[in-house]
Structure formats: C-alpha cells, structure tokens
Chain A
Amino acid sequence: MGDGPITARSVASNAAADGAKDVAPILIGVIPFGLITGVAAGASVLGDGLGWAMSFIIFAGAAQLATIELFDAGAVTAVIIATALVINSRHMMYSAALAPSFGAFSARWRFGLPYLLTDQAFAVSLLRFQDVTDATYRRWYYLGGAISLWITWQVTTAAGVVFGAVIPDAWNLGFAIPLVFLALLIPAVTSRPGLVAATVGAGIAIAAAGAPYTTGLIIGAVAGIAAGMIAERWWS
C-alpha cells in the first residue's frame, strides 16, 4: 500500500497489482499449457484462426484441448459440446464460492467478472478474501489476477499456433497433452473417493474407447463421477 491518502482509486490499483503479483508464480505452469494448447489447435481440423479464437471464446484450457481432440476424432456435435461443458461444470463450484464476495457488486461487475473465471484466479482470490473484506479491493484484486492469466493465455496459445507449424511431427509433441492433464489430475485427487473416481474414469474410458460416436470419454467421465459419489457414501 502507498503512503498517500487511501482513495478508492489507490485501493483499486494496489489491489490489481496484488492480484497480478500473486498469480505470477502460477503463470510458470500456464505458459507451457498455453503453448501446447496452441500447437494442438493449429495442427487440428479447426485450423489456426478458430483454434486460437477458442482461447477467448471458451477461455478454459482442459475444455479447449478436449474439444480439439474430439473434433480431430470426428466426434458428433452433441458429444463435443457435452464433454466440454462437463469438464467446465467445476466452475459452478467456484461461482458459488465467490458469490458471497461478489454478490453486492453492480450488474456490470457481476456479469463481467465471471467471464475471466479460471481455476487459478479462483484459488488465489478465495485465499486473499479470507483476510480482506473491502469490496473495492476484492473486485480489483480478482480482476488484476484474472486479467494477467487471460493475457498470458491469449499470448501463449497464439504463439503455439504460430510456432506449432514448424515443429517436426517426429517430436511427438501431441504427447504433451496427456502430460498436462496428468499435472492437473494429481493435485485434484485429494481423497479416497477422488481416487476411486479417477480409477473408474480411467478404466471405463479405456473399456469404452471403441464406443460409437467417440462417446468413450464422456462415458468414462460420468462413470467416474458416479463411482466417486458411491465411494463417498460408502466411507461416510
């Protein structure tokens, strides 16, 4: 915080700077994720333009990668849309957790801020909001962190689209996609039912790999979710 009089404007700029500073270490993980998503998008049937436009239309890495893979596999429209929205359904939990902090903002803020919602912006904001209750600070802190992530995502996916074209196929860069998912999966398994959900999701996705209309992924995901819920009841 500066030494001058505490005005709404100085609170806002300090808060935005704090948000950007707190997501900075997380960007180290976002940069390779964005590059790989861009490379995959550029090499897919979507092509460079739409492959990159996904980054600001959808703005959610795992859903973008799954969408790219399903388009390449020739999946039908309903399967592509359902899979991407199931992957992004976790954002409903984030929206619910942030609603008490954001609920009193004007409509412009309440309808604008959710576009920028990501796993990372959610995580840093929820942590900071435990200590700071000032509404102006909260919205600018979130905005500072979320916009840093948004800019990083747009720039790195665009760079991936551009440079992906010159990377030789022999490098098997497509293998980086499951590796990125693996880096997201391991911290997401935080309980025994979570482990059951992941194991069943993986097993059923393999068993259903040949299912018609490339529905193997969504069948595996739904089976894993159901198994996690059953395991939770079993152990409670």
Chain B
Amino acid sequence: MSPFAVVLVIGLGTYVIRLSFIGIVGARPVPEWAAAPLRYVAPAVLAALIAPAVMLNGGTLDLSPASNPRFLAAVLAGLAVWRLGNVIWAVIVGMGSLWLLQWLL
C-alpha cells in the first residue's frame, strides 16, 4: 500500500467514526461494551505515545538528567501544564528546560 493510500484509509476510517452516531446509528446511547473501553482510550494512548519518547534512550530505560535530559524536561513541562493548563506552556517549559539541561550538562 502506498503511503497516500494508508493516509486515505485512515482519513476515511476517521470520518466513519465521526459520522457513526450523527449520520448512521442515530440518537441512541452508546452500548456499554463500547463506552467502557472508549473512556480509557485518551489516557492509555497518550501515555503510550509519551513514555517511550521521553523515558527511553537508545532503546533502554534512562531517567538520568545527564544522559537523558528529555525525561526531566518532560516532568517540568507536565508540572507547568498541570498548574497553568495550556499546551503552549508544555512546549515553552519543556523545550526551554531541554535546551538549558543540554547546555548545562
């Protein structure tokens, strides 16, 4: 499958998911077998995306600020979002502390 075809399939699938109840099923409650997993999609998926990107260094777990400053920078960014509540603070604090740590260490 060409990359374009893959993107197209994802786009069509996403549209069908968005259309599901509005256009096809109608105004009916989501059955519990579907609602129960959907409650945990966002936290599970996002954490699974973040953890390897900030906690692994060359494929192994590394939380040391000296050899893997991305982990400490992500912790600081997380605290900033928690207190200040906007995506822009995550980027400013996270990138800023990464650059600072790389410069210091």
> Any chain B CB within 8 A of the CB of A16?
no
* Contact indicator A29/B87 (Cβ below 8 Å): yes
* Contact indicator A179/B90 (Cβ below 8 Å): yes
In the complex, the chain A residue whose C-beta lies closest to that of B38 is A93
* Contact indicator A102/B22 (Cβ below 8 Å): yes
Contacts of A226 in B (CB 8 A): 37
* Contact indicator B38/A89 (Cβ below 8 Å): yes
* Contact indicator A111/B42 (Cβ below 8 Å): no
Nearest chain A CB to B1's CB is how many angstroms away?
5
> Any chain B CB within 8 A of the CB of A178?
yes
Query: Which residues of chain B have a CB within 8 Å of any CB of chain A?
Result: 1, 3-4, 6-11, 13-15, 17-23, 25-30, 34-56, 59, 61, 70, 73-74, 77-78, 81-82, 85-91, 94-95, 98-99, 102
Nearest chain A CB to B29's CB is how many angstroms away?
7
Q: Give A50 to B56 CA distance when docked, in angstroms.
A: 29
* Contact indicator A182/B10 (Cβ below 8 Å): no
Q: Give A49 to B41 CA distance when docked, in angstroms.
A: 30
**Most chain B CB atoms below 10 A, which of A65, A95, A217, A224:** A95
Nearest chain B CB to A142's CB is how many angstroms away?
10
* Contact indicator B26/A103 (Cβ below 8 Å): yes
* Contact indicator A28/B18 (Cβ below 8 Å): no
Show 19 A/B contacts (Cβ-Cβ < 8 Å), sorted by A: A29-B87, A36-B91, A60-B14, A69-B49, A84-B10, A84-B13, A89-B17, A93-B35, A94-B18, A96-B29, A99-B21, A110-B22, A114-B23, A185-B46, A201-B46, A205-B47, A206-B52, A221-B48, A229-B40
Nearest chain A CB to B18's CB is how many angstroms away?
4
* Contact indicator B44/A197 (Cβ below 8 Å): yes
Q: Which of B7, B74, B99, B102 lies in contact with A182, CB distance below 8 A?
A: B74
Q: Contacts A197-B44, A210-B59, A228-B43; is A57 near B51 (CB within 8 Å)? A: no
> Any chain B CB within 8 A of the CB of A85?
yes
Contacts of B47 in A (CB 8 A): 185, 197-199, 201-202, 205, 220, 224
Q: Give A107 to B19 CA distance when docked, in angstroms.
A: 11
Q: Which of B25, B34, B49 lies in contact with A178, CB distance below 8 A?
A: B49
Q: Contacts A71-B3, A179-B74, A180-B90; is A228 near B40 (CB within 8 Å)? A: yes
